[in-house]
Structure 1
Amino acid sequence: MVATKSFDYVVVGAGTAGCVLATRLSENPGVSVALLEAGGESGPESMHSPNAMEAFGLWGSPVDWAYATTPQAGTGGTVHAWPRGKVLGGSSSINGMVHRRGHRSSFDAWEAQGATGWSYDTLLPFLKRSESTQSRDPRFRGTDGPMRIEAGSDPTPLDEAMYQAALESGHAASADGNGEQDEGVAWGETNVVADRRQSAADAYLRPALARPNLTVITHAHVRRLLLDGTRCRGAEYVADGTVHTVAADREVILSAGAVGSPQLLLLSGIGPAAHLQDVGIPVRADLPGVGENLHDHLLSWVSYRAKQPVPAGPSRQAYVLARSAEGVDPDVQLSFTRAALEPLWAGADPDGFSVLFSVVTPASRGSLRLRSADPTAHPLIDPAYLTDDADVDRMVTALSMARRLAAADALAQWRGAELLPGSDVLDEDACRAYVRATAATYFHPVGTCRIGVDALAVVDPQLRVRGIEALRVADASVMPSVVSANTNAAVLGIAERATQLVEEPAFGTASD
């Protein structure tokens, strides 16, 4: 074992949150920061492509943890691939580069569930702090943050037709889907700069690498946290076959994501006592909520043959945030792609188009558990997809909304035969079967170390792990419920706020 090195802060995981935390904390030259990442510094050139479809080619590569779920009864026994980034930038280095925050009701729901101080109004300054936009309302959007947000390419004629179809089918126009009015149809924004992907590592970490008080250690697979009684003292990791330890004089901050953070807590003896005993890990803190509350967005689609050639080259997506019924918060997202998708991401026909639909406030909840005490073994991931019938009902409603949008006159010159679900899938039972057969992950897992004050909460509203001193979690795992959009933008805000909670624990607020 290599002798212990000491730092003020040790950040575990260099994904979106970890890059923010290490960069922001090291802005103070009076503290030292170590950032541990299991993956490497970068990956194949395709990782930098602005084409979101090329991200699919990164699945199963060395920059992907290549997780998979247990067989999901709610989706016909399917085992769903769960790609997660294993490289500086984490999943922001292999995702679809979409920048969407989610409706204000998503964040207000956190506070209603016991996450005091995590409402939309409280988090907004931190969301703004993360981004740099142009020609946006500065009351709601950042102007000088590290993450540059771009409008993307000019829309093609098919993109324009899809946008107009959304208006025609009754969705209001939103000038900024991340601004004052995010409900309705809005053009998407992306994390692409100068025709290259902009990961959290690109935006935050790489400009800070020359700081003498910041140490980034790649290819460092953390095996467990080091505990002295109820205080976290550091972490143990393996690099090049050698065991190393690193000490934190002030705090350890877990930012390994909705899979990695609960897995590492469990490997360290922090979690449900009965489960830890079952896998032979000594119990250091009985926290029954670790690994619980796992959930994710699912999507499906309606696909059509195109009546004329589909434009090639760059595209600009429009997104619709809508309500499945009166009196509910926005819970359905519709989006578009210039291809006729086949089931379960099996492929795409470029001579077509699709309307994707998703219930973005799912009720189904699953869990994450250790497969064994082996830190190299992937955990058992059970998101319990569509186990709550309400999710199936709303997905069927969302399917109807997608079909109604696709039937708009604005798409008449483009719309050929419906390929999926097809003209024979009309009654409710057939639609429910179609949803279960085709539902696929949107790759937005959250919730396994949720914020709260009840017995199943893992971290308190200051993100401190309950019952353990000098240990926090800051990443998508702390979300009590998933936001009504892609998750990367919200994680940026969580990490920005976490930085101030660490630096100024009595305050935890940001200025505009």
Structure 2
Amino acid sequence: MRSFDYIVVGAGTAGCVLATRLSEDADASVLLLEAGTAFPPPLARDPLAWPALAGTEVDWRYTTVPQSGADRQQLPYPQGRVLGGSGEINGLTHVRGDPASYDAWDEAGAIGWTYESMLPFFMRSETTLGGDPAYRGQAGPVPVDPPATTDPLWEAFFTAAVEAGHHPNADSNGPNAEGTSWSEVTVRDGVRRGAAEAYLAPVAQRPNLTVLADAAAVRLVVDHGACRGVAYRVDGHTGVTYADREVLLAAGTIGSPRLLMLSGIGPGDHLREVGLPVVADLPGVGGNLQDHPRSQVAYAASRPVGDGTLARRPHVLARSGDGPPDLQLGFVAEPIHPRWMPGDEPGFSVVFALMSPDSRGTVRLRDPDPFEPPLIDPAFLTDDGDVARMVAGLRAAREVGDAPALADLRAGEEYPGAAVTSTAVLAQYVRDTATSSFDPVGTCRMGIDGAAVVDPTLRVHGIAGLRVADASVMPSIVSGNVNAPTLAIAERAASLIG
């Protein structure tokens, strides 16, 4: 059986970065394994078509377990199953979040992982047409800019946010993320440019890089405390390939802990419960799951809104209290009904999301079958403080939606309804309407304590030759969408390894 210097498991955002950077060394052979297809549907190229990709063949089609903090609802949990991973089916938004989000990692035991230490890797990953070159990359693979086209609707939303007290911010990916900014997207010439297109496609012909799609990793080969390789299923057959240097897990916040547990690396009690031998009792594997819960205030409009063009759109990063920014506001040119069901009537919505939830969930195995979906429990709104801050987010969204700039468009508040002002009723509305922002992180937490899964060099505690390098290593979720920090984590991982 052929061996490689490096095996990268998962060709999502992080995996594409790792495979590209590690194969820059012509003397190092790299295998990139991906369970999904190498050929995304044409819709994936269209920046406006991404909502139609959930539930298709390029989505794992996961759902959560019933959410005790959200009226026992089972929520959709899309994750990309294609070269490029979730970066091929997401909303293309490139937002780093507030620098304090990253400094919190170092404080939590991910020693040396601060905003200052991450900044070179943010810059290495991107190319922007503007911005301060002390903070913004000028020659990276991923193009990130606001669309050049403007639209009166989105301009009105920007003005409304400023009228509600959220100051203009010329670049939320610069030194300060707070305020009202134009969202940057991973688009160039009207076409999606995620990690698969930006990193992997230009180097796919390197002789030392092998990309194997439709190949689902089913188990890590671990011998005497060291990871030697990966077993995978392709065309109904199981193969094994070996790593002469390292195996790198980049299967994402759901896939990485799942593969660790299938390989006997995880919470010992859980592994024994599902009938798996315990290779390494690491209690933190699959724990610490975090995501951004979101809801919305929906308005009826006096006329149809939105023209379906790719135009620059605003977002807001704000504070619910005296701490760091923890609320994100966004805008949709549809009235969103509970739970995230677009209405047919003319309208718009102000979406609010909690960016630093205290609720913590889990990923667990259903049984030892590697082809059974895992049990995903984000534990949305199980912390009462999260509900209180979501109510603060709802009130902030209302202030924007009720601003003068939207007066000629606004025909009335549909959900929760302008007459609903009681904190208790608003809290119930939040529970009735909460959905995922599809930003899961944290299930292979980086740190030095007993609950950490990887150390600050991303090596799995107690297992030689194995690292994790994707969004799952974040000790805590950032106050922005997670694709940008995932790119930077993978860039930093490659620099640690190579």
Which TM-score band applies after superposition, normalised by the shorter structure?
over 0.9
Equivalents in 1 of 2:52, 2:302: separation in Å? Answer: 29
State the match for 1:319 in structure 2.
315
Return the letter of the residue paired with 2:204.
L
Deviations 1:331-354 (A, max 9, x none): 000111111112122223461111
State the match for 2:15 in structure 1.
18
Equivalents in 2 of 1:246, 1:379: separation in Å? Answer: 25
Please tell me whether the aligned partners of residues 365 and 374 of structure 2 are also in contact (alpha carbons under 8 angstroms): yes
Matches within 5 A, 1:22-41: 22-41=19-38
Q: TM-score, normalised by structure 2?
A: 0.98
After TM superposition, give the deviation of residue 154 of structure 1 in Å. Answer: 2.4
After TM superposition, give the deviation of residue 17 of structure 1 in Å. Answer: 0.1
Return the letter of the residue paired with 1:450.
R
Q: 1:462 aligns with which of 454, 457, 463?
A: 457
- The yes-or-no answer on 1:427 pairing with 2:422 is yes
State the match for 1:280 in structure 2.
275
- The yes-or-no answer on 1:265 pairing with 2:260 is yes
Q: Secondary structure at the match of 1:159?
A: helix
Return the letter of the residue paired with 1:23.
T
Q: Secondary structure at the match of 1:344?
A: coil
Q: Secondary structure at the match of 2:300?
A: strand
Please tell me whether the aligned partners of residues 158 and 414 of structure 1 are also in contact (alpha carbons under 8 angstroms): no
Q: Secondary structure at the match of 2:376?
A: strand
Equivalents in 2 of 1:86, 1:116: separation in Å? Answer: 32
Equivalents in 1 of 2:156, 2:345: separation in Å? Answer: 17
Please tell me whether the aligned partners of residues 125 and 488 of structure 2 are also in contact (alpha carbons under 8 angstroms): yes
Please tell me whether the aligned partners of residues 159 and 316 of structure 1 are also in contact (alpha carbons under 8 angstroms): yes
Equivalents in 1 of 2:207, 2:409: separation in Å? Answer: 57
Matches within 5 A, 1:134-145: 134-145=129-140
After TM superposition, give the deviation of residue 150 of structure 1 in Å. Answer: 2.4
Q: TM-score, normalised by structure 1?
A: 0.96
State the match for 2:439 in structure 1.
444
Equivalents in 2 of 1:344, 1:317: separation in Å? Answer: 23
Deviations 1:467-499 (A, max 9, x none): 000100000100011110110000000000000
Please tell me whether the aligned partners of residues 236 and 243 of structure 1 are also in contact (alpha carbons under 8 angstroms): yes
Please tell me whether the aligned partners of residues 341 and 349 of structure 1 are also in contact (alpha carbons under 8 angstroms): no
Q: Secondary structure at the match of 2:455?
A: coil
State the match for 1:509 in structure 2.
none
Q: 2:110 aligns with which of 98, 112, 115?
A: 115
Deviations 1:93-114 (A, max 9, x none): 0000001011101000111100
Equivalents in 1 of 2:154, 2:341: separation in Å? Answer: 23
1:153 and 1:77, CA in 2 relative to 1: closer, same or farther beyond 3 A? farther
Equivalents in 1 of 2:319, 2:150: separation in Å? Answer: 26
Please tell me whether the aligned partners of residues 16 and 195 of structure 2 are also in contact (alpha carbons under 8 angstroms): yes
State the match for 1:50 in structure 2.
47
Return the letter of the residue paired with 2:439.
H
Matches within 5 A, 1:493-512: 493-503=488-498
Equivalents in 2 of 1:469, 1:179: separation in Å? Answer: 38
Matches within 5 A, 1:348-427: 348-349=343-344, 351-427=346-422
After TM superposition, give the deviation of residue 121 of structure 1 in Å. Answer: 0.2
Equivalents in 2 of 1:222, 1:476: separation in Å? Answer: 18
Equivalents in 2 of 1:472, 1:349: separation in Å? Answer: 47
State the match for 2:341 in structure 1.
346
Please tell me whether the aligned partners of residues 300 and 345 of structure 2 are also in contact (alpha carbons under 8 angstroms): no
Matches within 5 A, 1:15-164: 15-51=12-48, 54-164=49-159
Q: Secondary structure at the match of 1:142?
A: coil
Matches within 5 A, 1:182-331: 182-314=177-309, 315-326=311-322, 328-331=323-326
Equivalents in 2 of 1:311, 1:200: separation in Å? Answer: 29
Q: Show structure 2 runs of 5+ residues with no match.
A: none
Please tell me whether the aligned partners of residues 334 and 342 of structure 2 are also in contact (alpha carbons under 8 angstroms): no
| More moved, 135-144 vs 39-48 | 39-48
Equivalents in 2 of 1:477, 1:5: separation in Å? Answer: 29
Please tell me whether the aligned partners of residues 70 and 431 of structure 2 are also in contact (alpha carbons under 8 angstroms): yes
Return the letter of the residue paired with 2:268.
A
Equivalents in 2 of 1:153, 1:430: separation in Å? Answer: 41
Return the letter of the residue paired with 2:78.
P
Please tell me whether the aligned partners of residues 340 and 433 of structure 2 are also in contact (alpha carbons under 8 angstroms): no
Deviations 1:69-106 (A, max 9, x none): 10001110110111100000000000000010111010
Please tell me whether the aligned partners of residues 129 and 142 of structure 1 are also in contact (alpha carbons under 8 angstroms): yes
Please tell me whether the aligned partners of residues 310 and 350 of structure 1 are also in contact (alpha carbons under 8 angstroms): no
Return the letter of the residue paired with 1:16.
T
Q: 2:470 aligns with which of 475, 483, 505?
A: 475
Please tell me whether the aligned partners of residues 446 and 477 of structure 1 are also in contact (alpha carbons under 8 angstroms): yes
TM superposition outliers: structure 1 runs of 4+ over 6 Å: none
After TM superposition, give the deviation of residue 309 of structure 1 in Å. Answer: 3.3
Q: Secondary structure at the match of 2:2?
A: strand
Equivalents in 1 of 2:154, 2:53: separation in Å? Answer: 26
After TM superposition, give the deviation of residue 153 of structure 1 in Å. Answer: 4.1
Q: Secondary structure at the match of 1:122?
A: helix
Please tell me whether the aligned partners of residues 99 and 175 of structure 2 are also in contact (alpha carbons under 8 angstroms): no
Q: Secondary structure at the match of 1:358?
A: strand
Deviations 1:449-468 (A, max 9, x none): 00000000000000000000
Task: Report the RMSD for the aligned CA atoms in angstroms.
Answer: 0.9
Please tell me whether the aligned partners of residues 175 and 181 of structure 1 are also in contact (alpha carbons under 8 angstroms): no
Deviations 1:204-249 (A, max 9, x none): 0010101000000011011000011101000000100111111000
Please tell me whether the aligned partners of residues 18 and 495 of structure 1 are also in contact (alpha carbons under 8 angstroms): yes
Return the letter of the residue paired with 2:350.
V
Return the letter of the residue paired with 2:4.
F
After TM superposition, give the deviation of residue 177 of structure 1 in Å. Answer: 1.1
Equivalents in 2 of 1:317, 1:492: separation in Å? Answer: 22
After TM superposition, give the deviation of residue 311 of structure 1 in Å. Answer: 3.6
Equivalents in 1 of 2:486, 2:240: separation in Å? Answer: 28
